[in-house]
Structure 1
């Protein structure tokens, strides 16, 4: 505890999976964490309770992403949550983690699926950042969660790859735009991590083993593997790093 004392963090999609792991780690390092969820308030409550039980501080923020007015709704809930928690207004760490993955090759993706994927994975983070910067203190941290699919071809999730490729470019360009304020912007690109999103892909022992074999460590990633790197990027120790994409795949497909 201590590295992030006095900091306020917002982690989108942190009711479970990688987002939950990041929220728990930032709270363990001393940050007050806003745990965002889209619809699963029970899972978000579990995340907040796990943080409190470990001695940290967190509160829930509910807002559906990928719809008109999503960023405004998110930050209205965030501001209200800070006030209810007795915390000072403002934001120090923003983690854009919330995402969806709709499978499909190029000839299978519908316009509706494509629009929905980009609305949640690309447009929402863009405008969440826009609104977040109005609250972010100088020296803040923005961490975008991308994916290994931007550097390795996965034709069966092509729309997802397109949406995350845009996030990588957003990180690069934004880092230059906000550097004068001392704000860093970086991307984490996980490989296969044991989360609900990919549960169907590892439903059998054989499938689990095949995915684990992609990493040089012969195992799937854990949310904590990603969260530990996010904690570094959220800390002052990363102050001289910005505009970068970090491969956190466990050496997958080297």
Structure 2
């Protein structure tokens, strides 16, 4: 689904998992800042279309495309869809920003972790962003930006997140590598590491009032994080003023467990 009836010369951001949670908040925050959006969805078509409609209400252009980031074999076809969307909606060949946001929850005690669970988390959170970025790079402008998503769990430890946290740690290392390798194209690459955010991610575990009370008590700023807290940081990293920032990990946890 796309919206808009006139050409736009605004920057274009591609956000994976943009139909809900942090992806949705980021899409809307960027639209407020004059950025057009290509967002992806895996199963929530209606949710994605609702985000597109909300972006339209802000006067920006948007397209929603289906994508499963855990299936790297589909990325070449997806890149072709992006190329066509750019042509049809924007009369352009390239987009400006990539936000590798899509993901799944990953609570599994180490002793119980199966190879299937391990492979799924690697495919979605590491292999997916790795090869999706590779496939989309020819469609990105020189001087563009990439934001990857990690987790506060790559710094502090909760039992049951050994696989999830380790895979996100790999994303952080990849981010630094890309910052160096894509430097000649002036593409800045950074990683954002949220803490406990009140969304439906991971089955909505952070929506539990009892857990929220515990987390807030260990957070210097004294509350749970909200999607807009993270979306604002991502938008900051895509702003003109932060073009000299690359290869950095920005933690968004309210100071949790410092």
Distance in 1, matches of 2:57 and 2:187, equals 31
Match of 2:116 in 1: 112
Other structure's SS at 1:44 match: helix
Match of 1:140 in 2: 144
2:63 pairs with 1:59 = yes
Match of 1:228 among 216, 229, 232: 232
Runs (4+) off by over 4 Å: none
How far residue 204 of structure 1 moved from its aligned partner, in angstroms, is 4.0
Q: Which structure 1 residue ranges, 5 or more long, are not aligned?
A: none
Distance in 1, matches of 2:145 and 2:29, equals 15
Match of 2:5 in 1: none
Deviations 1:126-183 (A, max 9, x none): 0111112111111100000110011111221111111101100000111011111111
Structure 1 length normalisation: TM-score? 0.94
How far residue 119 of structure 1 moved from its aligned partner, in angstroms, is 0.2
2:87 pairs with 1:83 = yes
Distance in 2, matches of 1:140 and 1:202, equals 33
How far residue 38 of structure 1 moved from its aligned partner, in angstroms, is 1.1
2:167 pairs with 1:176 = no
Distance in 2, matches of 1:155 and 1:211, equals 15
Distance in 2, matches of 1:91 and 1:14, equals 16
How far residue 30 of structure 1 moved from its aligned partner, in angstroms, is 1.4
2:25 pairs with 1:21 = yes
Q: Which structure 2 residue ranges, 5 or more long, are not aligned?
A: 1-7
Other structure's SS at 2:105 match: coil
How far residue 221 of structure 1 moved from its aligned partner, in angstroms, is 0.8
Deviations 1:39-93 (A, max 9, x none): 1111111111111122222110111121241322332222222233143110210
2:245 pairs with 1:241 = yes
Does the 8 Å contact 2:199/2:206 carry over to 1? no
Q: In the comparison of the two structures, how many residue pairs are matched?
A: 251
Match of 1:125 in 2: 129
Match of 1:50 among 54, 59, 64: 54
2:10 pairs with 1:6 = yes
Distance in 2, matches of 1:83 and 1:164, equals 34
Does the 8 Å contact 1:35/1:61 carry over to 2? yes
Closer, same or farther in 2 for the Cα pair 1:76/1:149, shift >3 Å? Answer: same
